[in-house]
Structure 1
Amino acid sequence: MGIGIVIKSFFDSFQIIKEAKLRKFYFFPGIIGIVLFMFFVGIGDFISVNLTDFLENFFQLYKHHSVISIFIKILIWLCSILFYYLIYKSLLLVILSPILGYVSERVETHLTGKKYNFTMKDNISFIIRSIDIGLRSFIKQMIGTCIIMLLGFIFPINLSIPFLIFILQGYFTGFSFMDYTLERYRLSSSESMNFLKKQRVCSAISGIIFTLLFLIPFFGIFIAPLVTCVAVTKITVEILNNTPETIKK
């Protein structure tokens, strides 16, 4: 699926939200996100101050040239911000998985007329799977991010570190949103990963757009989860219905 179609799906998502009467779901992710953000600010501020003091003493930064000391402090600060963001975003998506899973189902019903009659057991298994996918994605993101950071000592790879991390985050974030639809089609974890490999560009672009929306001050927390869920559901349903061979091994 082309990049243009992915971007168009994000623009179309606003109309779908209106037609499917999903506007109230702007607020649930936003409120949960703000509460979680305030919690992280409190915890993060305490940990960051103590961590920075510890690293300053451990590496004895006061003995280095002032410019080097400032550079190392900034590097520590940036790494801390990145780490907290990864945890915050991943935890938020895990908490929102039951809500976004329901939204994804409503979107597919609106687009195709297909209805699902899941039992309580099915719903619980979907929630468990969403949490499992979220945790697995977080672990892989952290490992991938650490590898990229280590490659930063190699020139000229170090010049592209932010770009590589951005793509990596987008890749796994997009897959988390795709899986809301894949689980309804009863795809196993291996089949879902096979689907992701064939749609890696679509997944990465979707995740990147989510990140860009999410970083909009204040409003991003409200609009990014819902808009991305709707757009990615539309994209995934179209792929599954038009090219079912994409899920074959």
Structure 2
Amino acid sequence: MLKEIIIAIQSYRQAHFFIQKHKLWKWIIIPGVVYAVLFCLCLYFFGRTSSEFIEWLSLKTGLPNWIAKKESGLLGFLFTLSGLFFLLMQMALYISLFKYLILIIGSPVFAYLSEKTDAISEGQELRFQFSEVKSDITRGIKVALRNAGWQILYSCFLLLLSIIPIVGWATPVMAITNECFYYGFSMIDYSFARKHKGTASSNYFITHNRGLAVGNGVIFFLMHLVPVLGWVLAPAYAIIAATFSMRRVREKPGILDNKK
């Protein structure tokens, strides 16, 4: 798994030089700016609603009054930390839902970028066929919705777990790892769609090669730590890097050989 993560991380460097060499900036900047604006709106609405939700939950459960009656400094400290981790889990779930919305909205651009990257790398001209692009877009939306469903279930479980003192402190790391995997999953699936492989083949490969998905998602996540510029570049870099990751492992026998 570590080797696969390294391949996925190195692919971002390849993606950067590839974009520079072939002057693909218009396919990076325009959708990236749209993504950055929507991401800012996501953070704004999260800030408006998260504190209100925590206040409502506290009143409904009566936890603050119960802790005050116990007059235990340690108990108060533990639940304060639990509240912090609960807030972090809220943010993770909120941003995850936003990213899947972007995956659905941006699927035409992602499908095109994946196709174009592979065509240029193989020294071929990209032959635009609306039927194939439409099929890739439809598949991308289905995969995004499927992954969103699984991640929501997993995140809700972690959200409840985060309330428990000490036990719940590991939930942010678990949530981020889970998010990175499913985001990378969606990016890598475009390579299988391009080769007309079924979702069963894609699911099997990515499940058994989790490092490629996790590595792709980790760098995507870290790029968000760079305000504005990172937000603009992250989506397109992720899809191009995922395409290069699959080209690196394509030489392994059996990966894209069957039609299932």
- Partner residue in 2 for 1:246: 255
The separation in 2 between residues aligned to 1:78 and 1:15, in whole angstroms, is: 35
Tell me if structure 2 keeps the 8 A contact 1:181–1:233: yes
In the TM superposition, what is the alpha-carbon distance from 1:245 to its structure 2 partner?
Answer: 0.4
Show CA shifts across 1:29-73 (max 9, x none): 322123312433454344334423321221124413363674565
* Equivalent AA in structure 1 for residue 101 of structure 2: L
Identical columns (%): 25
Distance 1:161 1:191, change over 3 A: same
Instruction: List runs of 5+ in structure 2 lacking aligned partners.
Output: 69-75
In the TM superposition, what is the alpha-carbon distance from 1:22 to its structure 2 partner?
Answer: 0.9
- Matched length: 248
The separation in 2 between residues aligned to 1:85 and 1:111, in whole angstroms, is: 33
Distance 1:72 1:204, change over 3 A: closer
- Partner residue in 2 for 1:102: 112
Calculate the TM-score normalised by the size of structure 2. 0.82
Tell me if structure 2 keeps the 8 A contact 1:210–1:224: yes
Tell me if structure 2 keeps the 8 A contact 1:214–1:223: no
Show CA shifts across 1:96-134 (max 9, x none): 221122111111112112445343222222211111111
Pairing 1:1-249 to 2, within 5 Å after superposition? 2-65=4-67, 67=76, 70-71=80-81, 73-149=83-159, 158-240=168-250, 242-247=251-256, 248=258
Instruction: List runs of 5+ in structure 1 lacking aligned partners.
Output: none
* Equivalent AA in structure 2 for residue 4 of structure 1: I
In the TM superposition, what is the alpha-carbon distance from 1:233 to its structure 2 partner?
Answer: 0.5
* Equivalent AA in structure 1 for residue 227 of structure 2: P
In the TM superposition, what is the alpha-carbon distance from 1:93 to its structure 2 partner?
Answer: 2.2
Distance 1:195 1:39, change over 3 A: same
| Structure of greater relative contact order (alpha carbons < 8 Å, 6+ residues apart) | 2
The separation in 2 between residues aligned to 1:43 and 1:149, in whole angstroms, is: 19
Tell me if structure 2 keeps the 8 A contact 1:174–1:204: yes
* Equivalent AA in structure 1 for residue 137 of structure 2: I
* Equivalent AA in structure 1 for residue 20 of structure 2: K
In the TM superposition, what is the alpha-carbon distance from 1:216 to its structure 2 partner?
Answer: 2.1
With 139-148 and 68-77 compared, the bigger mean Cα shift is at 68-77
The separation in 1 between residues aligned to 2:42 and 2:11, in whole angstroms, is: 32
The separation in 2 between residues aligned to 1:97 and 1:195, in whole angstroms, is: 21
The separation in 2 between residues aligned to 1:156 and 1:64, in whole angstroms, is: 19
In the TM superposition, what is the alpha-carbon distance from 1:165 to its structure 2 partner?
Answer: 2.0
- Partner residue in 1 for 2:73: none
With 168-177 and 121-130 compared, the bigger mean Cα shift is at 121-130
Distance 1:5 1:41, change over 3 A: closer
Tell me if structure 2 keeps the 8 A contact 1:104–1:180: yes
| RMSD (Å) for aligned C-alpha atoms | 2.7
With 47-56 and 171-180 compared, the bigger mean Cα shift is at 47-56
* Equivalent AA in structure 1 for residue 238 of structure 2: T
Tell me if structure 1 keeps the 8 A contact 2:107–2:140: yes
Show CA shifts across 1:141-191 (max 9, x none): 122223445566889864533332222111111111111221110011111
Distance 1:191 1:116, change over 3 A: farther
